[in-house]
Amino acid sequence: MMTFLIIIHVIACTVLIGLVLIQRGRGAGLVESFAGVESMFGTKTSAFLTRTTTIMSIVFFITCLTLAVMSVRQSKSLMAGVRSTATKPAPEAAKTEAPVPPAAPVATTATPDAAKPQ
């Protein structure tokens, strides 16, 4: 089902791109290079291209939304089958702490006023 929708989506994209490029716009578009395309359907060429563009854009949006909903429903984690080794606890030997060396003695200096008896 998903493959079928992707194929329809790609076809709708390419046809929509072609239709937009063929239509005569303000700058005359690519239709100037393809003079035969303008007269292909006679006097109603503009109406046909407009109607076909509208239909293909609706198909494009419907396939976009359907593919988005289907991909959310079918989504699975890429890491679902992988076993994690980071959650194992570390061995007890690695948790021993190194002894802390004692602090160096602090030298005290006596002030001359403190040494005199009162």
Q: What is the pLDDT of residues 68-112, one digit of tens each?
A: 888 888 776 556 677 777 666 656 655 566 667 777 776 666 666
Overall average pLDDT of the 15-37 stretch: 69
Residue 7, domain extent: 1-14+38-74
* Domain count across the chain: 1
Q: Which residue has the higher pLDDT, 16 or 20?
A: 16
Q: What is the pLDDT of residues 61-72, one digit of tens each?
A: 999 999 888 888
Residue 116, domain member (yes or no): no
Residue 46, domain member (yes or no): yes
Residue 1, domain member (yes or no): yes
Residue 106, domain member (yes or no): no
Mean pLDDT value across the chain: 74
Residue 24 has pLDDT above 60, yes or no: yes
> What's the predicted TM-score (pTM) here?
0.52
pLDDT of amino acid 55: 93
Residue 115 has pLDDT above 70, yes or no: no
Residue 103, domain member (yes or no): no
- Give the HSE-up count for residue 94: Cα atoms under 13 Å, Cβ half-sphere: 3
Residue 98, domain member (yes or no): no
Residue 108, domain member (yes or no): no
